[in-house]
Amino acid sequence: MNLKNTNPTLYYLQRAGFYLLVLVIGVYLLAPFFWAVLTSLRSPGDLFLTPLEFIGARTTFSNYADVFANPGFQRGLIYSLIVAVGSVAISLLLGAFSAYALGRFRFRGKTIVMYVILAVSVFPQIAVLSGLYTLINNLGLYNNPLGLILSYLIFTIPFTVWVLTSFVRDIPGELEEAALVDGASPLQTLFLVLFPVMMPALVTTGLLAFINAWNEYLFALTFTSTNRTVPVVIANYSGATQFDQPWGQIMAASIVVTVPLIILVLVFQRNIVSGLTAGAVKG
């Protein structure tokens, strides 16, 4: 702050440099997304225009109308929702049980269980692809959302267990002791005493797991043929002919699947950062 008085020129030069950096970062982070939104609002013919003309061109919602009229995309949205909600619901339930056990109980083999769960969370998906493919086929779940729900548990369960455990550990023990004294069973303690306290953690963890399941691509591409989720639909979005890439529609579909995520992320901003750091940074 002294610099302002001793050398004002240098001070203002530094400030200007700093704000230039802020501007560059802001543009870098947002420009590609902005351009995608813009393209989704322009008619296919305008794609040939120069960037300035393109920005000024007429706004149209025809791409969105086309995308929502596309049966493949409609089904994709529904399947994505079913698969993501299903795998997250199962993971949260199992994760809450496990987190309660790992965060509150002392027993032999606890460290091993923690390491197994951590090891599974770093499993490359490809390592289980052929085993899962044959398993899903044998269960008759190929091209079935249930098959995807099952396979997504491989990354949603370790994540929810890990993050929820770190939350449960931070809950003051008095709550649980009071319940124990009153003669509550462990399950009653979990559902009636800990669940209300864990609510913010469950919401955050669930949201992060939902984002992962919603975005998953490799399993969705491999375990389904027609009942595709949205990432696969968007990856294979094609136009009337093979050589015609309908960029306006692809961008509209992309915006449709992204905007709900962005809104959720912005609403739960603070919780998300704490959820991410609980999951990753426990140095």
Partner 1 sequence: MTVKTPVSAAPVKTRGIEAARARTAIWLLLPTLIAIALVAGYPLYRTIYFSLFEANLTSPDQRTFIGLGNFWFTTPEGIGLGFLQDPKWWGAVKNTLLFTVVSVFLETVFGMIIALVVNSAFKGRGFLRTAMLVPWAIPTVVSAQMWAYLYNDSFGLIGRGLLGGQAVLANTDSAIWALIAVDVWKTTSFMALLILAGLQSLPSDMYEAADMDGASKWTQFWRLTLPLLRPALLVALVFRSLDALRVFDVMSVMLGNVNAASTSMTGYARQALIDNQLLGLGSAVSVAVFVIIMVIVVMYVTAFRVKFD
Looking at residues 87 to 126 of the shown chain, list those that interact with partner 1 (rule: CB under 8 A): 90, 94-95, 97-98, 100-102, 105-108, 110, 113-114, 116-118, 120, 122-126
The reply on whether position 132 binds partner 1 by CB under 8 A is yes
Q: How far apart are CA 268 and CA 158, in angstroms?
A: 22
Q: How far apart are CA 117 and CA 166, in angstroms?
A: 14
Question: Based on CB atoms, which residue is closest to partner 1, 9 or 230?
Answer: 230
The reply on whether position 166 binds partner 1 by CB under 8 A is yes
**CA torsion sign, 246 to 249 to 251 to 253?**
negative
Among the candidate windows 4-12, 44-52, 70-78, 197-205, which touches partner 1 by CB under 8 A? Answer: 44-52
Q: How many CA atoms lie within 13 A of 181 on its CB side?
A: 6
The reply on whether position 61 binds partner 1 by CB under 8 A is no
Token readout for 193 is 């005493």
Cβ(113)–Cβ(102) below 8 Å: yes
Looking at 78, 81, 135, 146, which residue binds partner 1 (CB under 8 A)? Answer: 135
**Least distance to partner 1, CB of residue 175, Å:** 16
Q: CA of 45: how far to CAs of 41, 51, 238, 250, in Å?
A: 12, 13, 17, 15
How many CB atoms sit inside 10 A of residue 202's CB? 19
Cβ(220)–Cβ(179) below 8 Å: no
**Least distance to partner 1, CB of residue 78, Å:** 17
Among the candidate windows 4-12, 18-26, 57-65, 193-201, which touches partner 1 by CB under 8 A? Answer: 18-26
Among the candidate windows 4-12, 59-67, 69-77, 273-281, which touches partner 1 by CB under 8 A? Answer: 273-281
**Least distance to partner 1, CB of residue 277, Å:** 4
Q: How far apart are CA 100 and CA 112, in angstroms?
A: 16
**CA torsion sign, 267 to 270 to 271 to 274?**
positive
Looking at 88, 92, 161, 209, which residue binds partner 1 (CB under 8 A)? Answer: 161
Determine the residue type at 56: G
Residues in 167-226 that interact with partner 1 by CB under 8 A: 186, 190, 211, 214-215, 217-218, 221-222
Residues in 62-81 that interact with partner 1 by CB under 8 A: none
Contacts of 26 (CB under 8 A, 6+ apart): none
Looking at 134, 140, 170, 173, which residue binds partner 1 (CB under 8 A)? Answer: 134
Cβ(36)–Cβ(251) below 8 Å: yes
Can you tell me which residue has the tokens 């509150």? Answer: 104
Question: Based on CB atoms, which residue is closest to partner 1, 21 or 199?
Answer: 21
The reply on whether position 158 binds partner 1 by CB under 8 A is yes
Residues in 232-271 that interact with partner 1 by CB under 8 A: 232, 234-235, 237, 245, 247, 250-251, 254, 257-258, 261-262, 264-266, 269
